[in-house]
Amino acid sequence: MSARLILVAAAAVCAACGPAPAPVASTHGDAAQQKWYAETLTELTKMNSDAERAFQAGKSDEAAALLLKGQPLADSLVGVPRPALAAVEAASDLDQLYGQMLLSNRNYGWARLEFQKNRARWKTWQPQTEETARRLKLAEDAIAECDRRMAE
């Protein structure tokens, strides 16, 4: 019985000493360059615009339904290894609007969480541009507004 155990252990050690397997070449390339990515981005951008219009028109339920439908799209766009700036902006727009809706409903903690996602997103984005700095400031101002209202 112990001889078998020694043979199994020796085989495992020998197998571990072999060469590493060759890397598998990806046939998919950069996901942000794929057709599905552009289509998803277009769909999310339209949903964000429609949700913004609905929210501004006082149709919060319609806006919320659009944002809920858009969340999986945003997740798939930013979930790739190197998301496109336009995709990150679309996801940011969704989070910003959702945070504004939560803020208007006095859900300050949840709103703050949405704005914090945007702050983290834009604080670490490289390269920094005027637009990313503007979005970072927008998130920080929204967080400050949540804090102010929570303190009341």
Higher pLDDT, 128 or 11: 128
Peptide bond connecting 19 to the previous residue in cis, omega within 30 degrees of 0: no
CA distance 132 to 18: 48
Domain residues of the chain, as ranges? 34-151
Q: How many residues does the chain have?
A: 152
Q: How confident is the model at residue 7 (pLDDT cuts 50, 70, 90)?
A: very low
DSSP state string for 110-125: HHHHHHHHHHHHHHH-
pTM higher than 0.85: no
Burial of 71 (0-12, 13-18, 19+ CB in 10 A): middle
| Interatomic CA distance for residues 55 and 74, integer angstroms | 19
pLDDT tops 80 at residue 23? no
Q: For residue 20, give the 3-state DSSP assignment.
A: coil
Q: What pLDDT, on the 0 to 100 scale, is given for residue 103?
A: 96
pLDDT digits (tens, 9 = 90+) for 26-64: 445 688 899 999 999 999 999 999 999 999 999 999 999
Q: Using the structure block, give the residue that is written with the tokens 């929204």.
A: 142
In terms of CATH architecture, what is 34-151? Alpha Horseshoe (1.25)
The Cα-based distances of 4 to 18, 65, 85 in angstroms read 22, 62, 58
**For residue 30, what pLDDT is reported?**
83
**What is the CA angle 41-63-86, rounded to 5?**
20
Q: Each residue of 73-119: pLDDT tens digit?
A: 999 999 999 999 999 999 999 999 999 999 999 999 999 999 999 99
The H or E element spanning position 83 is none
